[in-house]
Structure 1
Amino acid sequence: MASRDRPAGSGLPGVLVVAGPPERLTEIRDALESLAAHAGLATERVALLEEISRRESEAYFRTLVSNASDVILIVDDDDTVRYASPSARDIFGGLQPTGAVLPDLVGVRDRERARQALRALRADGAPETHDHWWVTRDGSHTEVEVRCSDLRTDPTVAGVVVTLRDVTEQRRLEQELTQRAFHDALTGLPNRTLLLERVDRALLRGHRDPALTCLLFIDLDDFKLVNDTLGHAAGDQLLRAVGERLTATLRRTDTAARLGGDEFAVLMEEVREPVDAELLAAQILQTLSRPVRLLEDSVGVSASVGVATALDSRDADELLRHADLALYAAKAAGKRQWRRFRPPLHDRVVRRHALQARLDAVVGNGGFDLRYQPVVDLATRRVVGFEALVRWPPDPRGPVPTEQFVALAEETGQIASLGAWVLRNAVAGAARLQASASGPAPYISVNVSARQFREADFLDQVRAALGTPGLRPGSLQLELTETVLMRRDPQLDAVVRAVKDLGVRIAVDDFGTGFSGLRYLREFPVDVLKIDKSFIDDIPADARQVALVEGIVGIAHTLGLDVIAEGIETPAQGTVLAGMDCRYGQGFLFARPLVPERAAALLDATPEALSGP
């Protein structure tokens, strides 16, 4: 039943079927027609709302697709792109991929894989697959994450939907994070984490193959001095140069790593004999010894190397520990040295660690002893001053040689605390000696290390020392080694001149051992040259040595400097020195380093008592 008012030719939204006796149907026909009209209008309204909703959804998803950064492609069975979202132009370099064969748009190396992925998706019936492809655009390469969904049975799609996402920047960031996690930011070398991983792998291979794994630890000598004198920028430049030199020295199978600070390591794999690692250690020392140009300065570099092999190590931890022990032994032997770990080395290092613990305790409680060795006027044989020398205190475990604990204090950084203690107590002892002197007050000479001189509070220490009650003005002398003055810089110049302004004399200790020119004698405010013992030993019998010492004395006099000859042990040496107008001397001929009471007694000693046997 349809409404009489419906236009002719228009489609019917539906049919109202009513069954009943004809007479009754005729009676209610008008009512039924009205019901049919209302039902038709309701049905049309529902259909209209559905159409509006469908069109709004299409517009919504069309907007989403148009603005999505991901690329959406619909691919037919022949791999031809039937539809491509607008963002496809960004991925494919401005090209519109519609109508192109999808694998042909992929990088050459990935084309076959793209074909196989699409073929497998259609053949296996899998709902979707995931992959990564490279797409070439404008001469560059873009990495895309690929997701393929089989929607061929969906009548609205009827094809394979391929979604592409540009992950190039994401991969770059991932690689950068990986680089940072496993490489040193300054040198670009592998860091400790990556080195340990490679050591573990190398040792595992070593269990299967006859090849040997070796590890070298490298530590730069005096790197802190470079940082302090030339600045951290120069220090960083030096570390980069060391990394480059190490890399250039190694085989392709070796790994150079930076462990931190001025410490580097080299992992050697597939080594035949331990001697190969020893040869490399010597080569590294030679390579690093060449001067490095830093900013406007050329700096000499030296290093210490410790060598360990898997022959003496059960696992990676032990291999690293042995390399560290070997490095420790190399540094203890002096600069530019290498040492290979051997089992007896462990005991020596343990003893050295024990000595360091003892040193910590003595430095902490200030328990050192001081001895005073007199400086004598060679003409009058009268004491004019004393050099304060630090000694290990009485110890049930036995004495420790001065050169041994001083070198350890230099290495561990405790030399600053030790030096401050010596300066403070030396001037206090000097004040007591001066109070007991009946004649001219003797001066006191104190050795100062390079590190101590660069301490921020060093000038305050000197001022405090000069304020010691009873200390005569102008009676403090500080001794610097020639090596310190050779490595001059604005900071050192300023400190030396500030010390001089306080009325302190400056002496150059061990003069002649630094292999330097004499220019610094003119440029530095030096007062005294102390000629090293090695020049004095043979002067009674060696005419060339006499001429050399005479030359030093003559230069000093020309520059207005006093000269002290160190290490005088025989009357003959004293006679020769006095004859060449070397005014002052020091050595066992006159006295060994003395306790304060015996040093005070020498102040009133006769010239004969200081003339030796």
Structure 2
Amino acid sequence: MIGPGLGACASAIDQDPLVVCEDIRSHPDWAGVREILLTTDLRACWSHPIRGRSGRVLGTFAIYHRESRQPAPREREIIASAADLAAVVLDYFQAQVALGHAEERERLLLVSTTEGVLGVDHLGVATFVNPAAARMLGYLPEELTGTVIHDRIHRPTVGHVDSRAAENHPLAHCPLVAPALDGRARHGLRETLYRRDGSAVPVELWSNPVLIDGQLAGAAVTFRDISERLEQEQRIHFLAFHDALTGLPNRNLLRESLDRELARLRRHDTPFALYLLDLDHFKDVNDSLGHPAGDELLQVVAERLRAQLRAEDSVARMGGDEFAIIQSYSAGADAVERLAGRLVDALARPIPWPRDPDRGQSGRRHGEHPPGCRHPDGPGGRRPLRGQGSGTQPLCPVSTGHGPRPGARTGDRRQPLPGHRQR
């Protein structure tokens, strides 16, 4: 409790600067505690407030006597000096406590954060490694602390799956250490760090110089694993240039491939071939067997087309049942005709639907003919693509009998490829 009537120290806190009680038994500042006082042999009390650097009262310094008396001038000076010294000690103690609390908060932040945090000196030696950084890299914090961090986690060793040689990564160019050498911060860099097992982890990295008394003393590095972000970016990029159902390139990527082939043609006179095809009666498949059958048909068609191409060739889905194929470095009309024949033959094979869950293939009974393929009893050797009864039906997207050319829609007036033999 603070205030008049509660003793000299309580009054010293509430007043300025030195409270002198020559006889505490009769002094009004002690009226509130007189009953307690009468049980002691104390008679005089001199109390001085202890004020910190901010002017706030931190406590009091008091001297008690067993006889009633006033302090001499020299005693007043001693009391004031003692109070000032106590203020220095208390200020320091409180600063240390506050510093300890701040360091504990910082430690908790560094330990709890999910981002990796490193401290390095100007030699590249790790002075601090938080648990998140060590965990991302497959180490314990103490295994990295005190080591040259560049050699441990940033520079691939000779013979590593990363083709870059270790000597191409000097310490001075390491973004983890460079700010400690040149004083320039590095922000938002995409780097590759290496785990204990040698696997690579892509990270986004920030590295800032650390100054002590105006001198470079090291660098503080933070980084985060961006593997998932890169996977999402790659996924978005893939969807922008590929068909989601078949995984084939879409119109956008086909256009880029065509531009590249045309540029090669202009520069080097290198020919290429462009094939456009669609599926007969594809709508009948969706209408009679349902869209899952149509989706599977398109996926199987895509697989079969891709299987007929070389690595340098490409096939794209234009949309619906339309496909385009680019044959790079075409070796003339004969090569074009041979590939066209292989494509037609690949698509002429029946496609079982639905798949037999036990055998992984169609349960078609002997003697059934693929709808849409040549049938001896059908008009012109063709029947439309449609399911028959409740049995399992193979699908055949391209005609193999007489009538419209393979791969063309019924009624298509375009001419077959030159030299193409009807089967």
Q: TM-score, normalised by structure 2?
A: 0.58
- For 1:303-324, what per-residue CA distance to the aligned partner results, in whole angstroms no more than 9, with x for missing partners? 9xxxxxxxxxxxxxxxxxxxxx
Is contact 1:190–1:256 with CA below 8 Å preserved after alignment? yes
Structure 1 residues 153 and 32: CA distance shift in structure 2, 3 A: closer
- Which whole-Å deviations, capped at 9, do the CAs of 1:276-332 have from their partners, x for residues lacking one? 5455334322322222333226785989xxxxxxxxxxxxxxxxxxxxxxxxxxxxx
Which residue is equivalent to 2:225? 166
Output the CA distance in 2 between the equivalents of 1:39 and 1:301.
105
Shift of 1:224: 2.2
SS in 2 for 1:252: coil
Matches within 5 A, 1:15-414: 32-95=77-140, 96-102=143-149, 103-106=151-154, 107=156, 108=160, 109=162, 111=166, 112-113=168-169, 115=171, 116-117=173-174, 120-121=178-179, 123-128=181-186, 130-138=189-197, 140-151=199-210, 153=212, 158-271=217-330, 273=332, 276-294=335-353, 295=355, 296=362
- How much has 1:149 moved relative to structure 2? 2.7
Residue 505 (structure 1) aligns with: none
Alpha-carbon separation, structure 1, partners of 2:185 and 2:384: 79
Q: Secondary structure at the match of 1:187?
A: coil
CA separation of 1:488/1:85 partners in 2, compared to 1, >3 Å: closer, same or farther?
closer
How far, CA to CA, are the matches of 1:489 and 1:237 in structure 2? 18
Distance 1:56 1:486 in 2: 78
Shift in CA distance, 56/249, structure 1 to aligned 2, threshold 3 Å: same
Cα RMSD, aligned residues only = 4.2
Deviation track 1:519-552 (CA, whole Å, cap 9, x = no partner) reads xxxxxxxxxxxxxxxxxxxxxxxxxxxxxxxxxx
- Contact 1:91 1:137 (8 Å CA) reproduced: no
Letter in 2 for 1:117: C
Task: Tell me the residue number matched to 2:68.
Answer: none
Distance in 1 between residues matched to 2:192 and 2:265, nearest whole Å = 38
Partner amino acid, structure 1, of 2:184 = A
Name the residue aligned to 1:597.
none
Which residue identity does 2:144 align to in structure 1?
A: P
Structure 1, unaligned runs of 5 or more: 4-12, 15-26, 304-334, 336-479, 493-512, 515-613
Cα pair distance change 1:228/1:482, threshold 3 Å: farther
Deviations 1:39-87 (A, max 9, x none): 4444444434433322221111100000111111223344332321112
Separation in 2 of the partners of 1:54 and 1:235?
70
What is the aligned residue count? 300
Shift of 1:37: 4.4
List per-residue Cα deviations over 1:449-496 (Å, max 9, x = no partner): xxxxxxxxxxxxxxxxxxxxxxxxxxxxxxx9985599551279xxxx
Greater fraction of residues in helix: 1
**Distance change >3 Å, CA 156–CA 88, structure 1 → 2:** farther
8 Å CA contact 2:277, 2:322 repeated in 1: yes
Alpha carbons 1:131, 1:147 under 8 Å: kept: no
The answer on whether the counterparts of 1:122 and 1:150 sit within 8 Å (CA) in structure 2 is: yes
- Per-residue CA shift, 1:141-181, capped at 9, x if unaligned? 43223333332657999323332311112212222222222
Q: 2:388 aligns with which of 483, 489, 502?
A: 489
> Which residue in the other structure is 1:574 paired with?
none
What is the alpha-carbon distance in structure 2 between the residues aligned to residue 212 and residue 481 of structure 1? 38
In the alignment, the residues of structure 2 paired with residue 267 and residue 226 of structure 1 have an alpha-carbon distance, to the nearest angstrom, of: 27
Distance 1:189 1:134 in 2: 33
Q: How far, CA to CA, are the matches of 2:389 and 2:301 in structure 1?
A: 26
- In 1, Cα distance between the equivalents of 2:213 and 2:300? 64
Distance 1:142 1:154, change over 3 A: farther
Larger displacement relative to structure 2 (224-233 or 266-275): 266-275
Distance 2:271 2:136 in 1: 50
Rate the CA distance shift 1:293–1:100 in 2: closer, same or farther, 3 A: farther
Question: Within 1, Cα distance between the matches of 2:302 and 2:270?
Answer: 26
Is the 1:288–1:302 Cα contact (8 Å) retained in structure 2?
no
Q: Is the 8 A contact 2:205 2:221 kept in 1?
A: yes
- Relative distance call for 1:181 and 1:486 in structure 2 (3 A) is closer
Q: Look up the equivalent residue of 1:489 and give its one-letter code.
A: Q
| Aligned 8 A contact 1:285 1:302 in 2 | no
| 3-state DSSP of counterpart to 2:328 | strand
Partners of 1:302 and 1:216 lie apart in 2 by 22
SS in 2 for 1:158: strand
Alignment deviations for residues 404-454 of structure 1 (CA, whole Å, 9 cap, x no partner): xxxxxxxxxxxxxxxxxxxxxxxxxxxxxxxxxxxxxxxxxxxxxxxxxxx
Q: Say whether the 8 Å CA contact 1:91–1:135 is kept in structure 2.
A: no
Contact 2:207 2:220 in 1 (8 A): yes
**What is the CA distance between 1:126 and its match in structure 2?**
2.4
Of 240-249 and 151-160, more deviation after overlay is shown by: 151-160
Provide the rounded CA distance (Å) in 2 between the counterparts of 1:211 and 1:285. 26
